Every structure is written in C-alpha cells, then in structure tokens.
Chain A
Amino acid sequence: MLLQAWLEVVCILIATLLAACAVAPWLAAIFRIDTADSVPGRCESWLERLERPVLRLAGVWPVCEMTAGAYAAAIFVFHAAGIILLVAIQRLQPLLPWNPDQLPAVPWLIAINTAASFATNTNWQSYGGETTLSPLTQTLGLTVQNFLSAASGLCVLAVLTRGLVRRDSRTVGNFWQDLVRSTLGLLLPLAVLLGLVLASQGVVQSFGTAIEVPLLDQSLPTAAATPTKQRIVIGPVASQVAIKQLGTNGGGYFNANSAHPFENPTPLTNLLEIVAMLTLPIASCLAFGRWVGDRRQGRALLAAMAMLFLPFLLIIVRCETQPSPLLAAVTPAIDQTASGAHEGGSMEGKEVRFGPAASALFAVGTTATSCGAVNAMHDSFSPLGGMVAMWMIQLGEVVFGGVGTGLAGLIAYTLVAVFIAGLMVGRSPEYLGKKIEAREMKMGMVVLLVPLIATLIGTAAACVLPSEASAALNPGPHGFSELLYAFSSAANNNGSAFGGLTATSGFWTLSLAAAMLASRLLTMLPLVAIGGSLAAKRTVAESPGTLPTHTPLFVLLVAGTVILVGALSFVPALALGPLAEALQPLPTAAGGGKP
C-alpha cells in the first residue's frame, strides 16, 4: 500500500514535468524579451492579432516601451484599481444581478481583506465561499482577479529577464501589452482546456441556483429542529477552479476548497489539480532558460527548486502515511492500517478519496507554490508534516512559488548567492553577465526581507494582543502554529489556511490584508527596479574566470542560501510551534487525543 502511495506521488511528479515541458516553449514565446525589432513571424502575428483590439480599446496602441519606473507605476495602479473594483463589487452585491440566494453586501472588513487577497494572488479566504459571495461576485470579481494577478506575476518575471538579457537599455517592456499577452495568449487557453477536463470529471459548472435535496439517510433526524433537506450550492465552479490552480491563486469556489467533492471529485481531478498548480512555475524556469539563451540556466534554477522541494516532500509523505500516535493511543483503538477500505496512515482531516499520500503531496505542492488551495486540513497534519507545509511558505514562496513571482523571487535569492559566491572567486559579483551592485543588493534585500519581517512581526502582534491570541483554537504549541501559519500564509501571498483560527476580527482581517499587500507590492516593485537597473548595464563577457551559474555546485549554493535565510529567520519560531509539538512526550494510554 505504501509502495502504491509512493508510486502515485512519482507519477504525478512525472506528469507535472511533462506538462511543464510542453508549456515552456509556449510561455517563452509570449513575451518579447529582447529590444530588437520583432521579426514578423507567425507566432508574433497571432499574439499581435490577439492583443491589438484589446490594447486599442484601452488606448495603449501602438505599444511603446516603458521605463522601469513607469512599469512599476502601472503595476501599482493596476493593483489599486483591482482592489477598488473588487471592494465595490462585494459591497454592491445585493444591487447587482445574478445573486440567486439574495446574499447581502459583504461586510467592509471582509470585503477589504478579500479584495487585497485576490488582487495580490494570495487568495486567503476570510469569507465563507459560497455562503458569502454570489456567482457574479465569484466570477466577475474573483475569477477575473485570478487571471490578472497571475498575469501580473508573469509580467514581473518578464521585466527581470529583460533586465538580464538587454544591455544599455532604458526600457523594460510595456506592462499593458505583457498583461494582455499573458492573460489571453496563455492563461485563458490553458484554463479553458483544464476547465473542460475538470467539468468532464464532475466538477460543477452551472449557472443554475442551489439545489434542495432530501437527506439520503432519512432515519437520521430525530429532533424536530433537525433539517430533513439539504441545500447544495452549485455555480460556475470548474472555470474558477481551473485558473485557481493554474494561476497559483488557490481561492476556491467553496469554503472547503479542493476538499469539496464538487471542486475536486476524483483522484484524477486531484492529480490534474496538483499538476496544474505546479506547471506554470516550473515552466517559467524552462522558459527563462530559453529567454536568456542558455537553457542550462533555467534548468539550474529548477534544480535548486527541486532540491528544496523533494526532501520536504519525502518528509511530509512519510509523516502523513504513518499512523498518528495520538489516535493510536485513543480507546477504542482507531484502525489506521491499510486495508481495502482505506489507504491507512493518518487520516484525520483528509479525504478518503485522496488518501494521505496524495493529500500530503497536494499540501506540499500548494505551499511550495503560492497556490494555497487545500484538499486536506493542514491543521490536522502531524506536527512535522504541518511544519513542512508552513516552512515551504516561509521560504518566501520561491520553491516553485507563484506564477512568475516564484522564479523572480528565486532570482533575487540567486543574486544574493551570486554576490557572496562571486566574491569568493575573486571577482566583483555578476549574474548572467550583469554586475550585481549596491542598487540590486538593496532591492534584492527588500524582496527577501519584507515577507520575513511581515510574518514575524504580525505573529508577534497576535501573540501580545490577548484578544487576538485567543483566536487560535488549540492550546499549547499548536495554537502558536496556527497564529504563525496565518501570517506566514498572508505575508508570502500563499493564502492557504492552517485552520483552527478565527480570523474575522478587525485585527486579523486588516493586519493580514496589510501583510498581503506589503509582501506583494514590496517584492514586485523592487523586482521591477532590479530589472530596470540591470537592463541599463552592459553585459560582461563570459570567461573561465566567470562564476558558472549552471553547475550542481551553484544549484547547491542557491538552495543553501534559501534554506539558510529561511532557517535562520524561522527556526526559533518553529521551535516554539511545530517542533515543540513534535518533540512533546506522547500522552500515556489513558490520555485523550488532540483536543
């Protein structure tokens, strides 16, 4: 049975790699990286035909190149506009059409939190999914942001790549063109494809209203107040789920996210959803290699990500496929061994149709990428398994990470690694021929530090505010994990919830919204600045004296830098949370399970 679980994991990973290899050339063709006038080719023309009407409508045709400053301003304005629009849609919900359940206006705090969350590709959900938002709000508000926030992530990666490729250039591309191209040229076709497949497997896609059905087991109700009927909400789910996975968004249609049978009905959809969330971040690496004209560079960065991903995958799968010692101590004994009925292992908080291995893979995938969709409750994972999920987020969402932003973030880490390693070979540091100097270092440090600091300070604030510390459901170190996870998730734009936290008060909604906005904008804008300052530089010629950035040693160095920064920043906090919980002596047989 365990072998079967591992086999499943390996198959999914291979499928992911194949999908990424297939998408990479497509992604690479989307952006024009070099400044050189485009050669009228077939690929160029279909993209131009696609973008021209939209850009003309928006009044930005013909397209002219932007400086890094203008590009950053466009990103900022775009995020601000997205947030305002999303707040407006939520507040005006009762006045807008397609609100079959007559849902009221979303409360201000929740609306602001949700708007910040979806515009920043975080998709932290402090609202109750289908019970708070109408199909119109979900579709026109959330799903649109799912596309656009992923597309703007790709834009940042394009700017950074242009910085590395272009020389003596003042400009870094046009944000509106990049945005339209990545949305219409890549995300939309991929999402349509995936949405159709998901719908074919039973993911709901309907404009209909909620269905009322009698309870299957009519013998259950005894008391008069117990309902005899169940309302089942349906809606345009498949379309939202497709982009939620592809765009590493993670905001589900339903509150239960990908654990809900209408959002993720079968092991096959589970596989597809895992593949979907990993595909674009991995394809970005491969496309990066094509853009810089040296595929080894892209593969090296991908290898660094894999080096950080695979050991943690092993740990979490291993942890979750083990029987829970706490449940084993419960009397009467709970069956945790594999049988025909279930896979065995720690099943608390997991769906029977996925089993512990696929749930663990989903968990590490959704936290490694900044997706944040969940098909099992991370709160119920073993302490070490939960820690793995949390740490993958705390590494700054650079192990695969968000669409575009993940690789861009890893490049920021790479610049730091290159800076130190470059000195060790006796040259002032350079990456892909570009000198890394004070400005890149300054901006790179902002990219690295803002999420770290926001996570640590946010958690500290929650700890000292007596009213907020009690938001954690569980006592002891597990409660601390719940607080730490929430801020880690928001401040790294992941959006997954550990669970067990009541995060609807003013403190939580606003502080998490602030963390999401800070970590999105204060990483994207400095990354654009890095792109601009690199583009203006000349390219240093390569020689045997140049630090090679595609070797296994360099991969080790980049991965080591990420781990070192992550470890040094979070080890004390993790020690007080999951580590203390994991090392906790087991309760004696008479003791109860987890409260």
Chain B
Amino acid sequence: MSHDTQAGILGDPAAILRAAGEAFVKLDPRRMILSPVMFTIEVGAVLITMLAVARAAGQPGAEHPAFIAAVAVGLWATVIFANFAEAMAEGRGRAQADALRRTRSDTLAKRLAAPQRDAAIEQTPSTQLRRDDYVLIEAGDIVPGDGEVVDGVATVDESAITGESAPVIRESGGDRNTVTGGTRVLSDWLVVRITANPGESFLDKMISMVEGAKRQKTPNEIALDILLAGLTLVFLVVTATLLPYSIYAVSAAGRGEPLGLAVLAALFVCLAPTTIGGLLPAIGIAGIDRMVRANVLATSGRAVEAAGDVDVLLLDKTGTITFGNRQASTFLPATGVSEHDLADAAQLASLADETPEGRSIVVLAKERHGIRSRDIESLNAEFVPFTAQTRMSGVDFDGRSIRKGARDTIVKHVLTAGGTVPPEVHRICDDVAKAGATPLVVADGATVLGVIELKDIVKGGIAERFQELRAMGIRTVMITGDNPLTAAAIAAEAGVDDFLAEATPEAKLAMIRRYQQEGHLVAMTGDGTNDAPALAQADVAVAMNSGTQAAKEAGNMVDLDSNPTKLLEIVAVGKQLLMTRGSLTTFSLANDISKYFAIVPAAFGSIYPQLKSLDVMRLHSPTTAVLAAVAFNAFVIVGLVPMALKGVKYRPLPAAVLLQQNLLVWGLGGLLLPFPCIKLLDMLLAACGVN
C-alpha cells in the first residue's frame, strides 16, 4: 500500500500556491454555476463591486464607499476560498495522476500479425494499438496496454500500479490472464490480446478518476445540492424582503435608514450555507482520493458512497479470515504409539513435501518435540510425492514405508497391506473433523501411527474487527469452499455472523440476491471470471487487480493490492466521506444563529435602538459587526479545508453514538464557536481603526 503519511494534509507550499492560482481561474461563471450556492455569492460579489465602483465614482448613497468595498472583498474572498478548497483537493489527485502518467511512457509495441509467437512482428507505438490487436511482450518489455494473455507464461513486475514489489505470474487461461498497461515483463514472454482502445485503458480511467476530470455529482451530492439550493433561496428571500421591511419600519419609527445593499449582501453571504457549499466538491474529491491512497480504484464516486451504506460483507475465508493455508496444529497418536514417534514419522514423511501443509508438519514437529530437520539424501530415503492416483505422500527408507493422507485413502492402504485400523483412530478423525479441522492419518507400513490435525489458522485480531463491524450494524458472511462442518467451526472461531459453505458462484449470487431482497446492501470481493455475475449483482463489488478482465469489469472497484481484507477499509472510507459531508453541513447551518446576533442589531439599530440589546457580543460598531461576521464566514472555509480533505474522525461505533458525538461536536460546536471568533475579529477590526 502506498499510504503516504504525508507532510501535512495540505502538502507542500508549491501545491498551495498553485491551488491559490487556480482558485481565481475557477471564478469563471460557467464553472461556478455548477454550485448554486457559490454562484449566487459570486453574483452578489459582482453587484456589490459595481456598487462600490459607482460610489467611488461619486454616485450618491447612504453607505460609506469603503464599507461597500470591504463587503465586496468579503464576498470575493468567500468565493475564492471555496475555489481554493476544490483546487487543493484536485491538486492532491493530480499529484497521484502524474505519478501514474509517468508509467504510461510511449513504448514501441511488437504487434503480431496473428496471435502466435512466431507471427510477423510490426513495431507500433503503443498509443496506436487498438482493441483486438495482438502483441508480443518479451522479458524487459513494458506492457503496452491492458490486455488478456492468450499464450505464454511470464513473471510481471506490477509495482508501477500496485506498489507491490514482488513479481506476479501471468499466464494464458485461468484467472491470472490479465496484464495492465505500464507494467513490465521480467522473464519469459507473453502473447497478449489488447482489450482497450487508446484512452480507455485502466490507467487512463484511473488518471481521469483521480484528477476528477470526469467527476459527476453522486446521487447524494445532488440531493444535498438541492437542500443547499433551497436554503440559499430562502435566505435570498429573507434578505431581499428586509429592504421593504426596513423601509416600512423607517416610516413607522420615524427615524433611521433603510438597509443598504451592502449590508443585505453581507447578511446573505453569512446566512447562505457557504461553508458546506464551498467545501462540498473538495469533500467528494478527497473521498475518492482516500480510496486511491488505499490503493483502491473506484469506478465512480457513487461506488465510494455506496461503500458507506453497505451492511453485509461477503468475505472470502481464504486470505481474509484465515491465512489461507491449513497448518498442522496437533499430533494425535493411536493407542500404543507415543506422540514423539508419531511426530517423528510425520516429519520424515513431510521432509520433502513442499506444500504449506507439509512444511507446517515439519515446523510443528520441531516446535513440539524438538525433532531437527534431517537431510533426506543422507537418510538414503526415497520421497513418494502426492499424486492424483495414490492421493497420499510419504517416504520409503530402511524398508519402512511411511504414508500420510486422507482417512479413507490411508485406511484402504493399511487394509491392503494386511493391517487393521484401530477404532480410536476413527474416533479421533471424527473429533478433528467436527472441530472444523482436517485429519491427516499417518501409517508406517500396515500400522496406523495416529492422526495429524490440520487447522485453518484464523488471523489474529480479525474477531475483534468483526465485533466492531457488528456494532456498526454490518454483518459479515464468510464464503468458503469447505464443507459445512469445517466452515461452521471457523465461522465460530472468527466470529462472523453467517457463512456459506461449499460455495459455488451460483450459491454466492443467490445469497447476494436474498440479502438484497431483505433490504441489505451487499459488498463482496472476487477475482475469477466465475465471480463476475455475483460481482455485478453486489452493491459494492471489489475486483482483485490480479483477477480476470471479466471480474474487473463486473466490479465497481479494483483493489490494486488484491488484498481481500481491503473491504473493511473501503467501508470505512465510504462512511467517512458521508460523515464529513453531514458534519460540515450541520456546522454550516448551526453557524447562522450567531451571525444574526451580530448583524440584526447592527442593521436595525438606527431604526429601533432597543434592538441593540440583542447584541450579546457587545461588538464595537455596526460596521465592525457586519465585517467581522463576513470575515468569519470567509475564513471558516479556509479553516475547514484540512477537515474536508482529511475527513472527520471515523470510529466504528453504532449509529446512535456517532450521531450523538457528531451532533455535539459539529452541531453545538457550530452554534457556539462563531461567537468568540466574531468577537475576536471585531476587536481586531476595531484595533485597526475601523469604525
């Protein structure tokens, strides 16, 4: 994983400068109109600027030209700060995109006339390769584009995409037949059918995603935009109607001045949800960016959001819940056999066995009984490997013939050799199987020595993690090809809520449909072509980068690390994105109350002096009060940029607790924080001699 625990969330000063520059470029109204809140503020800024210019040019009016100019500056600052936030988020994405783009160096590809290695080769620039072209890639070549291996086996260095330095094997057929453009073949050769036209490759998609070039608003963003646009409309009406109200009040009270346009514009910018309106795009971009940092490529922002909603996780047992390989855990000798003898025999039978199970037997024998590794050559022994016919393995030496294998195989072997199987061996085997482990029977000639228990080892800490997920309302379902007995035992040990044993792709698909029918949103990971239907059905489908093209196309995310545990991280990123959005919206709305306390007494004080008693902050003057509120409103956007980019703190807690905490921090905090801040800005303005 390429988590850069970066130099501060904002990055280096150059990035800040560049974002600041772009903030001005983004003032283009054709761009601004995409965000209705900020667009209205920009229109207000233009109008007030024109007013300020007109007053400076000698037009008559009640408000002081300098005050109008100051309000105009405040409005512009609000818009520019919001643009800055978006530019910062995009800048971070762009840095990633640049890194990706560097891998896409133009190379000359060896285009083949036919899908055979010995076909005629034509040197073609990689940018001109079309879908269904065939290319030959030999050791040292860069893979010119996304494709499917049709012939050959090779080791490929995919670190440019995944950050993982260990080379992987790519071969035709099966689930390891895809190659990604920009990776490098280290050994041997491949014939590859190109599957993407120029500009449509995986890398291209990834670059455009992280750059936010093709960013579309997600459904949730659209709904929030509607809410914010509605509120903006109300506040526009509230401020606009204050002009006639104040005209009436002036005539009714017989004193004071109707509100000026600058004060109304100031009130509007303070009330409109500029904080969330300005930070909304940045939050969305930052969410996708966090996904990319976790080495997950989402095909859309929508997928990232859906990840937050998921409440059923289908997790492959192997690799996610267990370490993937069964390991020997106990030696269970038959009657009359010492455990040490059994261990000794088992170790001998496994010395040359390079399977993970075999190696784990050797390790266990050493750990438990101190039996050192012996050199099979010097023992003059002959290793008998596992074959599909015999279905057992072992070793022959000194006239001894030690075999280990599944129960029925060894039983048959022993009976053929004229021996008998003690009844307790059957009992031990049954017990082991019932506990979810696999019994491996060891025989020396016609004598059964005992049983080795092979267990799936559940990853440390995974049970706690599932516990957390359960508290958040997320069910975990273990998917395994094991028999139900084994599956149940591991499920119990790992603490998953449910399991699917002897899983077939069809059973997976049916299970997803059933959960969805009950109203759940399902996430899963998959890599094989046969996973594709289930991936297409799931709400969040994470394809392993090592998987087939079909799996990647069916999924809506690709995990570049091909790490099934990543699903948990993906859910966290999705939830954090939504939480950030909600928290900043709450904060933005809660802020408004304080601004009324600043502006209403200032604006109406000349008409009804008694309203000055609402000025709880005891601000210096009406001018400083209005300007302090406007300044706070603008600065709070900048102040929250790191929060928008980093996301609010995420903890796996039940919804009720999360609501309580976030409401306290962002709701109550948003209500109270502006009071001291506005007071401080007011004192600052007064100190600067503003009256």
- A interface residue numbers (CB < 8 A to B): 416, 419-428, 433, 436-438, 440-442, 445, 448-449, 452-453, 456-457, 459-461, 463-464, 469, 475-477, 479-480, 483, 538-541, 543-548, 551, 553-554, 557, 560, 564-565, 567-569, 571-573, 575-576, 579-580, 583-585
Contact of B249 among A419, A477, A571 (CB under 8 A): A477
By CB atoms of chain B within 10 A, which of A445, A448, A476 has the most? Answer: A445
B585 touches A423 (CB 8 A): yes
User: Known contacts being A425-B655, A428-B305, A576-B604, is A553 close to B660, with CB within 8 Å?
Assistant: yes
A427 touches B611 (CB 8 A): no
Contact of B663 among A436, A452, A557, A565 (CB under 8 A): A557
A553 touches B656 (CB 8 A): yes
A480 touches B244 (CB 8 A): no
* A-B pairs with beta carbons under 8 Å apart, 8 shown: A421-B586, A421-B663, A423-B220, A452-B234, A477-B608, A544-B654, A564-B592, A567-B596
Asked if B448 is an interface residue, CB under 8 A from chain A, the answer is no
Interface segment among B361-369, B419-427, B518-526, B632-640: the answer is B518-526
B252 touches A575 (CB 8 A): no
Known: A420-B586, A433-B519, A544-B654. 17 other contacts (CB 8 A): A424-B666, A426-B650, A427-B308, A428-B219, A445-B230, A480-B249, A541-B518, A547-B656, A551-B656, A553-B660, A564-B589, A569-B238, A571-B600, A572-B604, A576-B246, A580-B608, A580-B610
Smallest CB–CB gap between B517 and chain A, Å?
A: 8
User: Known contacts being A459-B245, A464-B247, is A424 close to B237, with CB within 8 Å?
Assistant: no
A422 — which chain B residues lie within 8 A by C-beta? 582
User: Known contacts being A421-B663, A423-B579, A576-B608, is A453 close to B237, with CB within 8 Å?
Assistant: yes
Docked CA distance A538–B515 (Å): 12
Q: Which residues 571-613 in B have Cβ within 8 Å of A in the complex?
A: 574-576, 578-579, 581-583, 585-586, 589-590, 592-593, 596, 600, 603-604, 607-608, 610-611, 613
A460 touches B611 (CB 8 A): no
A572 — which chain B residues lie within 8 A by C-beta? 238, 242, 245, 267, 596, 600, 603-604
B237 touches A463 (CB 8 A): no
User: Known contacts being A424-B659, A426-B575, is A543 close to B238, with CB within 8 Å?
Assistant: no
Smallest CB–CB gap between A473 and chain B, Å?
A: 12
Contact of B308 among A428, A560, A567 (CB under 8 A): A428
A583 — which chain B residues lie within 8 A by C-beta? 608, 610-611, 613-614
User: Known contacts being A424-B659, A456-B238, is A419 close to B223, with CB within 8 Å?
Assistant: yes
A423 touches B614 (CB 8 A): no
Q: Which residues 643-664 in B have Cβ within 8 Å of A in the complex?
A: 650, 654-656, 658-660, 662-663
B521 — which chain A residues lie within 8 A by C-beta? 540
Contact of A553 among B252, B309, B663 (CB under 8 A): B663
A423 touches B656 (CB 8 A): no
- CB-based nearest B residue for A543: B473
User: Known contacts being A424-B659, A452-B234, A477-B252, is A463 close to B582, with CB within 8 Å?
Assistant: no
User: Known contacts being A480-B248, A544-B655, A545-B311, is A419 close to B227, with CB within 8 Å?
Assistant: yes
B249 touches A546 (CB 8 A): no
B241 touches A460 (CB 8 A): yes
B235 touches A420 (CB 8 A): no
- CB-based nearest A residue for B236: A453
Docked CA distance A452–B232 (Å): 13
B110 — which chain A residues lie within 8 A by C-beta? none
Asked if B233 is an interface residue, CB under 8 A from chain A, the answer is yes
Binary CB contact string for chain B from 472 to 498 against chain A (1 if under 8 A, 0 otherwise): 111100000000000000000000000
Docked CA distance A448–B229 (Å): 13
Asked if B449 is an interface residue, CB under 8 A from chain A, the answer is no
B582 touches A541 (CB 8 A): no
A438 touches B222 (CB 8 A): yes
- CB-based nearest A residue for B218: A428
- CB-based nearest B residue for A430: B309
Docked CA distance A483–B240 (Å): 17
B474 — which chain A residues lie within 8 A by C-beta? 543, 545
Contact of A469 among B248, B308, B604, B654 (CB under 8 A): B248
B241 touches A459 (CB 8 A): yes
A441 — which chain B residues lie within 8 A by C-beta? 223-224, 226-227
Smallest CB–CB gap between A301 and chain B, Å?
A: 17
Contact of B658 among A426, A440, A483, A573 (CB under 8 A): A426
Contact of A424 among B267, B593, B658 (CB under 8 A): B658
Contact of B223 among A436, A452, A477, A545 (CB under 8 A): A436
A428 — which chain B residues lie within 8 A by C-beta? 219-220, 305-306, 308-309, 578
Asked if B253 is an interface residue, CB under 8 A from chain A, the answer is yes
Docked CA distance A583–B615 (Å): 13
Docked CA distance A457–B233 (Å): 12
Contact of B659 among A416, A453, A547 (CB under 8 A): A547
Asked if B34 is an interface residue, CB under 8 A from chain A, the answer is no
Docked CA distance A376–B585 (Å): 42
By CB atoms of chain A within 10 A, which of B220, B233, B472, B603 has the most? Answer: B220
Smallest CB–CB gap between A591 and chain B, Å?
A: 16
B472 — which chain A residues lie within 8 A by C-beta? 544-545
A452 touches B241 (CB 8 A): no
Docked CA distance A538–B604 (Å): 51
B241 touches A573 (CB 8 A): yes
- CB-based nearest A residue for B590: A564
B520 — which chain A residues lie within 8 A by C-beta? 540-541
B241 — which chain A residues lie within 8 A by C-beta? 456-457, 459-460, 573
Smallest CB–CB gap between B503 and chain A, Å?
A: 22
Docked CA distance A162–B511 (Å): 29
Query: What 3 pairs between A and B have smallest CB-CB spacing?
Result: A545-B473, A423-B582, A426-B575
B244 touches A464 (CB 8 A): yes
User: Known contacts being A421-B659, A553-B660, A584-B610, is A476 close to B252, with CB within 8 Å?
Assistant: yes
Docked CA distance A416–B228 (Å): 11
B473 touches A546 (CB 8 A): yes
Docked CA distance A546–B475 (Å): 13
B244 touches A460 (CB 8 A): yes
B574 — which chain A residues lie within 8 A by C-beta? 426
User: Known contacts being A425-B579, A428-B220, A576-B245, is A541 close to B519, with CB within 8 Å?
Assistant: yes
Docked CA distance A544–B497 (Å): 14
B667 — which chain A residues lie within 8 A by C-beta? 560
B267 — which chain A residues lie within 8 A by C-beta? 572
A452 touches B308 (CB 8 A): no
User: Known contacts being A425-B659, A476-B252, A545-B654, is A457 close to B237, with CB within 8 Å?
Assistant: yes
B97 — which chain A residues lie within 8 A by C-beta? none
Docked CA distance A483–B248 (Å): 11
Asked if B404 is an interface residue, CB under 8 A from chain A, the answer is no
- CB-based nearest A residue for B517: A538
Smallest CB–CB gap between A567 and chain B, Å?
A: 7
Contact of B586 among A424, A440, A469, A547 (CB under 8 A): A424
Binary CB contact string for chain B from 652 to 685 against chain A (1 if under 8 A, 0 otherwise): 0011101110110011000000000000000000
- CB-based nearest B residue for A571: B596
B581 touches A423 (CB 8 A): yes
Contact of B519 among A538, A554, A585 (CB under 8 A): A538
Smallest CB–CB gap between A163 and chain B, Å?
A: 16
Docked CA distance A87–B516 (Å): 54
Asked if B470 is an interface residue, CB under 8 A from chain A, the answer is yes
Asked if B271 is an interface residue, CB under 8 A from chain A, the answer is yes
A548 touches B227 (CB 8 A): no
Docked CA distance A441–B223 (Å): 6
Docked CA distance A458–B234 (Å): 14
A453 — which chain B residues lie within 8 A by C-beta? 233-234, 237
Docked CA distance A479–B248 (Å): 9
A548 touches B655 (CB 8 A): yes
